[in-house]
């Protein structure tokens, strides 16, 4: 029955919304099931939630105001399925604006809603007015991408350096919708998108620098200890050597050959790691370094 179907829905799309979309909040009781059955159960719930979403949209019609709160909440949560369904029911909602005067394209960029942005990308790419739109401070889309992400999105990634890396990647992605010459356009404060990014992420960059240095310092100590132990093992021959010729006793044993090769390999890798970490501690930090070189050196 319909009541049984509704009771099995356990998807939470809009925890803060106060619209008819609250029909989707019904949570089923916890039941321990087999992992495969659990996957099938979630797929079934997803399909049922989509049906309810389509039903709600059809009942609400094409009134933009009816969808406004739910639409922007979906953008903030990067729930692209809901955004897609609402746009299908009421295409004009793409121009709806939130309390700060931003439409869903601008909101998706500022909230790092990657899936929603991908959904809207072909619209942005083909529509000049969307590519060139600005807010009241003359911030274009790339300016907005340079603003610091809300904390609830930033905390999805652990570590200030990796957070900054994701911010740089996002900024680079949004820049693709602009021509190179358009990236020098300034806002009311005479700032280019790159200048906005640098200003907004100054504190995060300092945190990232400290995080990388502390991590590299800890790892370099560990690497130094490993080098010391491996070097000691390398110069100490198991069971000693023949006194007359100085040849290791186990020279002809296969196990001794394996030991010698693995020990040499360990010494080489530990020494390389130590040099990499020391190079990080003495390196100059710039925005571009956080994109590839520093994370690669740290996790090599």
Burial class (CB in 10 A: 0-12, 13-18, 19+), 27: exposed
Instruction: Find the angle CA(207)-CA(209)-CA(210) to the nearest 5 degrees.
Output: 65
* Spacing of C-alpha 30 from chain mean position: 30
Query: What is d(CA 71, CA 93) in angstroms, rounded to the nearest whole number?
Result: 8
- In this prediction the pTM is 0.72
Here the tokens at position 300 are 């090599």
Three-state secondary-structure class, residue 241 = strand
DSSP-assigned states of every residue in 9-20: ----S-TT--SG
pLDDT by residue, tens only, the chain of 300 residues: 444 443 343 334 444 444 444 444 444 444 454 667 778 878 888 788 888 878 887 777 666 667 888 899 999 999 999 899 888 888 888 999 999 999 999 999 999 999 999 999 999 988 999 999 999 999 999 999 999 998 888 888 888 889 999 999 999 999 999 988 999 999 999 999 999 999 999 999 999 999 888 988 998 999 999 999 888 877 776 665 655 655 665 666 777 778 788 888 988 988 988 998 888 888 778 888 888 877 777 776
CA distance 230 to 247: 21
Q: Which residue has the tokens 């729930």?
A: 79
Domain ranges of the chain: 1-111, 208-299
State whether residue 248 is helix, strand or coil. strand
In three-state secondary structure terms, 279 is helix
Q: Which residues, including other chains, have CB under 8 Å from residue 10's CB and lie 6 or more apart?
A: 26, 27, 28, 45
């Amino acid at each position: 029955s319909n009541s049984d179907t509704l009771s099995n829905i356990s998807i939470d799309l809009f925890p803060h919304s106060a619209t008819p979309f609250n029909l989707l909040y019904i949570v089923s009781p916890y039941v321990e099931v087999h992992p495969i059955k659990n996957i099938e159960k979630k797929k079934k719930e997803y399909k049922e939630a989509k049906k309810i979403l389509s039903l709600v949209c059809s009942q609400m019609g094409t009134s933009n105001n009816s969808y406004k709160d739910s639409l922007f909440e979906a953008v903030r949560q990067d729930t692209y399925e809901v955004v897609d369904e609402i746009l299908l029911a009421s295409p004009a909602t793409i121009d709806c604006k939130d309390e700060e005067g931003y439409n869903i394209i601008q909101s998706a960029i500022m909230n790092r809603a990657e899936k929603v942005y991908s959904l809207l990308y072909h619209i942005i790419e083909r529509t000049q007015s969307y590519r060139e739109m600005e807010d009241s401070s003359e911030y274009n889309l790339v300016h907005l991408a340079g603003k610091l992400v809300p904390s609830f999105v930033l905390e999805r990634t652990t570590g200030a350096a990796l957070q900054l890396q994701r911010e740089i990647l996002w900024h680079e992605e949004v820049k693709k919708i602009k021509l190179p010459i358009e990236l020098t356009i300034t806002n009311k404060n005479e700032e280019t998108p790159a200048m906005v990014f640098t200003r907004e992420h100054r504190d995060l960059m300092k945190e990232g620098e400290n995080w990388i240095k502390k991590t590299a310092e800890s790892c370099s100590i560990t690497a130094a200890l490993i080098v010391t132990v491996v070097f000691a093992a390398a110069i100490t021959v198991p069971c000693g050597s023949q006194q007359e010729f100085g040849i290791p006793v186990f020279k002809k044993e296969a196990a001794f050959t394996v030991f010698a090769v693995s020990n040499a390999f360990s010494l080489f890798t530990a020494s390389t790691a130590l040099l990499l970490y020391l190079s990080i501690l003495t390196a100059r930090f710039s925005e571009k370094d956080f994109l590839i070189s520093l994370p690669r050196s740290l996790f090599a």
